[in-house]
Structures are given as structure tokens and as C-alpha cells.
Amino acid sequence: MFPPIPDWDAMHPFAVHFAVALAFAAVLFVPLGLLPGQRGRDFAVAALLLMALASCASIISVSTGTAAARLAERNADAEETLVRHERNGRWARNAQIALSMIYAAIVLIPAARGREPGATGKIAMTAVFLAAYAGFLVLLLWVGHDGGLLVHEHGIRALLPK
């Protein structure tokens, strides 16, 4: 009835798209977290939850990618791209986790203290955070570009069950 569930090493194409989509969706909610009152806090918490899910998805993406790379047929042309893709994928995973933790501090510490920062402080923290997150998204796009090169130029594919 249903197609077979792919092995862990074949899950990379599925897992990675969740990580990317969640990371890009999360950043859309961050500026909305600047809205005053409960509405802004709700958007900030939504952004934080999406970042946490993106962090989990990025961990799975790196794990499945590592498993898939062990089985990939390698050639000299693909090797450099594969090494760069793996290295930058690990950097992107680490950046996603770190940025999620930083945003958690931005959102949760004032809530725990029962004192919100002033509007200027909140805008400044959000602007600095968004600048850092933008850099992360550029890295994520670069990782995805290399993944696309591996598939579309070098013919590396996930090994799906038969």
C-alpha cells in the first residue's frame, strides 16, 4: 500500500528540506516578536519553537548526510564538493543550535525576570540577532547549493529501497 520507509542513509533528502524550511520560517516570526504585549511574545515564542525544531532537524540532517556520504560513489570531481558540503553542513547545524540558544535567552530571560527590555533595547537586540541569523541563512544556502551540485552535476543520489 505505502512505499517502504527508506533506510537512514537515504533519509537525507527528506530531513534536510525540513531543516531548511523551518529555519527560513522561524526568521519570519522574529520581527513580529517586536509587536507590543502578548501578541509580540506569542510570535517570539513561535519563532523560538520553529528554531528549536530546525535545530533538531539539522541534527538529523547531518546524521543522515554522514550516513549517506559513506555509501556515495565518489569521484575526484565530487570529492571536493562533498567535503565542503559536509563541513559547512556541520557549521550550519552548530550555528542553528547556537542561534536558537541565543534567541531563547533573548525571549526567556526577560520573561523569567518579569521585566521586558525597553523598546530601543528590544529593537537593537533583535536587529543584531537578525543580522547574525542572516549570515547563518547565507551559509545554509551555500550548503544547499553544494548539495544540489552533488545531485545534479555529480549524480550522487540517495539509495532508496527497492
| pLDDT tens digits for range 83-139 | 899 999 999 999 999 999 999 999 998 878 877 778 888 999 999 999 999 999 999
Closest CA to 82 of 10, 137, 18, 154: 154
Helix (H, G, I), strand (E, B), or coil: what is residue 35? coil
Residue 69: domain span = 8-152
Instruction: Let me know if 11 is exposed, middle or buried by CB neighbors in 10 A (0-12, 13-18, 19+).
Output: buried
d(CA 94, CA 91) in angstroms, rounded, equals: 5
Residue 159 lies in a domain: no
**Is the backbone of residue 37 left (phi > 0), alpha (psi -120 to 50) or beta?**
left
Contact 158, 6 (CB under 8 A): yes
pLDDT of residue 13: 83
Contact 73, 156 (CB under 8 A): yes
Residue 160 lies in a domain: no
User: Is the model's pLDDT at 4 over the cut of 90?
Assistant: no
pLDDT of residue 126: 94
pTM score of the predicted model: 0.88
Residue 157 lies in a domain: no
pLDDT of residue 29: 97
Residue 100 lies in a domain: yes
DSSP character at residue 52: H
Residue 1 lies in a domain: no
d(CA 73, CA 69) in angstroms, rounded, equals: 8
Contact 127, 39 (CB under 8 A): no
What does the pLDDT look like over 38-83, one tens digit per residue? Answer: 999 999 999 999 999 999 999 999 999 988 887 777 777 788 888 8
pLDDT of residue 6: 73
Residue 85 lies in a domain: yes
State how many domains the chain has: 1
pLDDT of residue 100: 98
Q: Which residues contact 149 (CB under 8 A, 6 or more apart)?
A: 81
Residue 161 lies in a domain: no
Residue 158 lies in a domain: no
pLDDT of residue 28: 96
CA distances (Å), 160 to each of 20, 61, 80, 157, in order? 22, 16, 24, 9
pLDDT of residue 155: 79
